[in-house]
A and B are shown apart, each in its own frame.
Chain A
């Protein structure tokens, strides 16, 4: 049973436009969410996080939105750049989940020049 879902395996966006990556979760005990970016042959790198007490967190071109009632979060990248082409993982954690992080399957973003 996948507790963190990323239903779009891939996404293509034109350079300069907005990229929107979506993530859904099923466990209401999750209270902390993170996005990671992964390039080929490298480990995932942290991008941005959000706590369940917030509904939005912004860092430069990256904004994460959290809708707790829908158990949904999204990552917006504006404007998208070719260097953003990577696999993006959504991850969730919660105190009642043993300080564990559960990752989604990832979405491969391609930003076309």
Chain B
């Protein structure tokens, strides 16, 4: 158990819909990362937050947005969903944005 909690574990929805994925980092970790893994591909970096502020942005679509709240949990919002958005979405945390990343178990999104 990494200490990073992601909900929901599985989500099935239809094209055009909007979903929210939630992540609770390890206790004390200030930095949260979101990654997308599609169909046996590598982990694609989406976005990083540090203590509530956006720190780095990767290949995140404009239809996607994220935020980190004062209690340090983070949410990834995916809207106008397309079939190609079906993927595993991982959240990871670190104490200070460097060093080892601790990953959650992921949220598997299926868009039908």
Contacts and interface: CB of A to CB of B under 8 A. Distances in A.
B2 A43 contact: yes
A27 interface: no
The interface residues of chain A, by DSSP majority, are classed as: strand
State which size class the interface on B falls in. 20 to 34
A49 B100 contact: yes
B98 A46 contact: no
Interface string A67-91: 0000000000000000000000101
Interface of B: 2, 4, 31, 33, 35, 40-45, 48, 50, 55-56, 58, 90, 92, 97-106
Interface residues of A, number: 22
Interface string A16-46: 0000000000000000101010000111111
Interface in A72-113: 89, 91, 93, 98-106
B55 A99 contact: yes
Given A43-B105, A44-B90, A45-B103, A101 B2 contact: no
Contacts of B41: 105
Contact of B104 (A36, A43, A100, A103): A43
Contact of A99 (B42, B56, B100): B56
7 contacts: A43-B105, A46-B100, A49-B99, A99-B56, A100-B56, A101-B101, A106-B40
